[in-house]
């Protein structure tokens, strides 16, 4: 693993630490469903015609109607989610350091470019 990959892994793991409990607790019962455009927008990923995106679709299962969303959350690992998905922090998610979370998502954008 090179230096860049190692940093991406650390950043994603920190986002998982912050958001996994909140996603489980708050998103599981949310009626707003901020992921409803997943399929229409191709998960907000800018390379939706690339081989990499086709591989993600196949590996994690992309539903034509629902995209990557399942009843209990997104099936795409956070490391592959778009900047839109990792930087969206809705008003219902509380009790975490927003500045830290924005710093991490911006750094991920700098490193991955999406």
Interaction between residue 98 and ligand SF4 (CB under 6 A): no
Closest distance between ligand SF4 and the C-beta of residue 58, in Å? 15
Site for ligand SF4 in 10-69 (CB under 6 A): 26-27, 30, 32-35, 38, 43, 67-69
Please, where are the H alpha helices in 1-114? 3-25, 38-41, 51-60, 83-87, 98-112
SS3 for 63?
A: strand
Token representation of residue 110: 């700098």
Single residue of 4, 5, 54, 90 touching ligand SF4 by CB under 6 A = 90
Contact set with ligand SF4 (CB under 6 A): 26-27, 30, 32-35, 38, 43, 67-69, 74, 76, 81, 85, 90, 92-93
């Amino acid at each position: 693993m090179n230096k860049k990959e190692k940093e991406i892994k650390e950043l994603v793991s920190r986002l998982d630490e912050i958001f996994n409990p909140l996603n489980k607790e708050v998103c599981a019962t949310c009626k707003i469903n901020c992921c409803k455009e997943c399929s229409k927008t191709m998960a907000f990923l800018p390379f939706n015609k690339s081989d990499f995106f086709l591989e993600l679709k196949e590996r994690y299962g992309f539903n034509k109607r629902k995209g990557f969303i399942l009843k209990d959350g997104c099936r795409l690992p956070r490391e592959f989610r778009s900047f839109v998905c990792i930087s969206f922090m809705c008003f219902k998610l509380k009790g975490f350091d927003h500045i830290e979370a924005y710093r991490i998502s911006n750094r991920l954008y700098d490193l991955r470019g999406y």
